[in-house]
Amino acid sequence: MFEFFKGFGVTFSTMFKKVVTEEYPEDFPPAAPRYHGRHQLNRHPDGLEKCVGCELCAWACPADAIYVEGGDNTEEQRFSPGERYGAIYQINYLRCIGCGLCIEACPTRSLTMTNFYEMADDNRQDLIYTKEQLLAPLLPGMEQPPHPMRLGRDEQDYYVQGPTLAARAAAGEPGTENDPVGEQVR
């Protein structure tokens, strides 16, 4: 007959514990830092895109969720440092399984995953995210492409020491466009 009190005891003790229920959507708790959420196409510190349209992410994708078409940068229309940029970039979130193989495949660290997870919708069309939706927002100091390379003469400068050059450019140091150190690192 003590079983009866034992059962109520559990209930009673739980009343004083912290609840695990989350008040979603009123409360919006962040996912774990390394959660595989929505993708993001990153930018160089001056706003140029890191994506070179190489399609390695599409190649790696086991669900065939990514579609990429490369494009040719010209001096007038430059979207990324170097010769090539991603002209069309689409991720189909109806297909994406969040495995993250695309992230591993990306040679320029252009594609990463955020921990944003609210990606439900009531139609299929809107779940195909295009490049405009996936590109990282412009931070202060960034400029909307197309624009010329601001941090160096070629893509090597960006890859080898982009953040350093950006910091120096921000500090207004002269000679950022053409420094001998960068040459040596290369």
**53 in contact with another protein (CB under 8 A):** yes
Give the residue carrying structure tokens 């959507």: 25
Question: What residues numbered 126-185 form the site for another protein, per CB under 8 A?
Answer: none
To the nearest whole angstrom, how small is the minimum distance from the Cβ of residue 52 to another protein?
5
Residue 125 carries which DSSP code?
A: G
**59 in contact with another protein (CB under 8 A):** yes
**186 in contact with another protein (CB under 8 A):** yes
4: number of CA atoms within 13 Å, CB side?
2
Distance CA 166, CA 168 (A): 5
Contact between residue 157 and residue 165 where contact means Cβ atoms under 8 Å apart: yes
**78 in contact with another protein (CB under 8 A):** no
Identity of the residue numbered 133: Q
Segment contacting another protein (CB under 8 A): 22-30, 65-73, 111-119, 135-143?
65-73
To the nearest whole angstrom, how small is the minimum distance from the Cβ of residue 34 to another protein?
25
To the nearest whole angstrom, how small is the minimum distance from the Cβ of residue 121 to another protein?
24
Residue 18 carries which DSSP code?
A: P
Contact between residue 128 and residue 90 where contact means Cβ atoms under 8 Å apart: yes
Q: Which of 37, 40, 82, 169 binds another protein (CB under 8 A)?
A: 82
Distance CA 158, CA 166 (A): 9
52: number of CA atoms within 13 Å, CB side?
14
Question: What residues numbered 90-109 form the site for another protein, per CB under 8 A?
Answer: 107-108
H helices present in the chain, as ranges: 2-14, 56-60, 101-105, 131-134, 155-170, 180-185
- The first and second tokens of residue 47, run together, are 């706003």
Identity of the residue numbered 139: L
Nearer to another protein, 38 or 106 (CB): 106
Nearer to another protein, 22 or 154 (CB): 154
**84 in contact with another protein (CB under 8 A):** yes
**56 in contact with another protein (CB under 8 A):** yes
Q: Which of 37, 70, 98, 100 binds another protein (CB under 8 A)?
A: 70
Contact residues toward another protein (CB under 8 A) are 52-56, 58-59, 69-72, 82-84, 87, 107-108, 186
